Amino acid sequence: TSSVHERLLSIKQCSSTTAQHLLSVFENICEINGLNWKQNLIGQSYDGSSNMRGAYGGLQALIKSHNPAATYVWCYAHRLNLVLTDAVSCSSNARDIFGIIETIYDLISSSKNRVVIFEKNSKKLYPNKQIRRFKRVETTRWWSRDLAMRTVISTFDALCDTLDELENNAGSNDRKSSHQARSISENIKSDRFLLTAFTFTQIFDIISLLSKILQAKDLDLLGATESVLKNEFKPLTLTRRKRVPCMPGENTVDEPIDDPLLSSLT
C-alpha cells in the first residue's frame, strides 16, 4: 500500500558504537525478523555522528556497500538541534540562563526533602493544577530546553518560595544548599534572567513547532517543500514609528530652541 507504517522491531544494548559493530547488530535483528534488507531496504536515517554518517566507514556507507538503493538521509530534526545549539552557545546570556535552569534541577531533584517542599508550595499556589517537575537541560535535544524553561516560568512563584525556605531554614548542617538557594534566587529574580527567559519563550514558540513537524511520521519531502515555499516569504508584522513632518522654518529635533531671553543671558 501507499501508507507508511512505523514499527519498533527491537531494542538492543550495544557494547561498542563502532560502525562495524552496529552493522552486526542490524544484520542480526533483520535475520531474526526475516527481513531481506539487502534487497528490500530503500532508506536509512540517522544522526550526524561520524560512526553513522561517515562517507567511507560510517554505518550508512557499510549498508550501502551491500545495498546501493538504501539512500541515507541525515535526520533534519537532529540537524536543526545542532544548528540551534551552536547558535545559542555564542550568547553568554543564553549559556547563563540554561546553566541556571540546570542548577535548579540539580538542587531540587537531588533531595527528596526539597522535592516535598516544592510540591507543598506548588499545591498551595496552584491548587487546581497538576504538579510539574523540573527538567534537565540536555545538550543534544533542543526541545528539552523549551520544556525545562517553561517549567521554571510556569512554577516561578512556587520556586521562589521554595528557594527562600531552603535559604532560611536549611540549618547549620546544610550550608551548601542554603548558599545555592540564595544564589539561584538572586539570579532568577534579576532583570537579565527574566528578559532572556521571555525572549527565548518567543523563540521556542517557532522553533519547537518546527522541530515537531520535522519529526512527524506523516511528513514527506513534498509536504516539507510545500511548507517551506508557503511560509518562506510570509511577511512579518512590522511596527513603524509614526513621524510628524516638520515644515520649513520649524526647529528639527537636533536644533536648539531659539529663546531670546536665554540668548540675552549668554
Instruction: Record the cell numbers describing residue 189, joined without a space.
Output: 529574580
d(CA 211, CA 225) in angstroms, rounded, equals 15
- Identify residue 220 by its one-letter amino acid code: D
Instruction: Spell out the SS3 assignment of 134-151.
Output: CCCCCCCCHHHHHHHHHH
d(CA 7, CA 9) in angstroms, rounded, equals 6
d(CA 169, CA 146) in angstroms, rounded, equals 32
d(CA 136, CA 183) in angstroms, rounded, equals 19
Per-residue pLDDT of 127-159, as tens digits, reads 988 888 898 886 667 778 888 999 999 999 999
Per-residue pLDDT of 225-238, as tens digits, reads 777 677 665 555 55
Burial of 167 (0-12, 13-18, 19+ CB in 10 A): middle
d(CA 173, CA 229) in angstroms, rounded, equals 61
pLDDT confidence bin for 205, thresholds 50/70/90 = confident
Per-residue pLDDT of 55-99, as tens digits, reads 888 999 999 999 999 998 887 777 877 788 777 778 888 889 989
d(CA 195, CA 94) in angstroms, rounded, equals 11
Q: Report the sign of the C-alpha dihedral through residues 188, 190, 195, 196, in that order.
A: negative
Nearest to 47 by CA among 21, 28, 19: 19
Per-residue pLDDT of 87-133, as tens digits, reads 777 888 888 998 999 999 999 988 898 999 999 999 999 998 888 88
Give me Rg for the CA atoms of the chain: 28
CB of 197 closer than 8 Å to CB of 101: no
d(CA 70, CA 88) in angstroms, rounded, equals 34
Bridge partners, 74 (sequence order): 46
pLDDT confidence bin for 164, thresholds 50/70/90 = very high
